[in-house]
Amino acid sequence: MSLMRISTGKRGEELAAAYLAEAGYRIIERNYRCLFGEIDIVAEEGETLVFVEVKSRRSAAYGDPQLAVGHQKQKKISMISVHYLAERHLRHRPARFDVVAVKLLPAGHRIELIRNAFELAFG
């Protein structure tokens, strides 16, 4: 992975976490890792646990950032979230998946929050 890609991702995650906190989310964890992979941000909004995938782009060359969260990525995030809930004994807690799309443009950044971006995905 290139350093530019890593710095774009980290910058996007920083901006997304600040944006979510400003929007009333309480950030519980960042970069949660398990054997299935990683979730960028785990947060709470009211009683709901929110698993947040952050996608960042420096240009429109590859389309909108949120388009990178396809079915395979949704399945992976779903598996990680189920593991998280089981590990922390939170299986009965309401939960959802949000995506934060961050465009890091020369004229300034733009952030879009997609609440309830997808349903639990297996298969």
Q: What's the pLDDT tens digit per position in 50-107?
A: 999 999 887 666 666 676 788 999 999 999 999 999 999 999 999 999 999 998 888 8
CATH of residue 32's domain is 3.40.1350.10
Number of residues that make up the chain: 123
pLDDT tens digit string along 8-17?
778 899 999 9
Number of domains comprising the chain:
1
This prediction's pTM:
0.90
Identify the pLDDT of residue 2: 54
- Note down the domain range covering 55: 3-62+85-118
Kindly give, in sequence order, each residue whose CB lies less than 8 Å from that of residue 71, ignoring residues fewer than 6 positions away. 121
Q: Which of 123, 118, 102, 122 is nearest to 51 (CA)?
A: 118
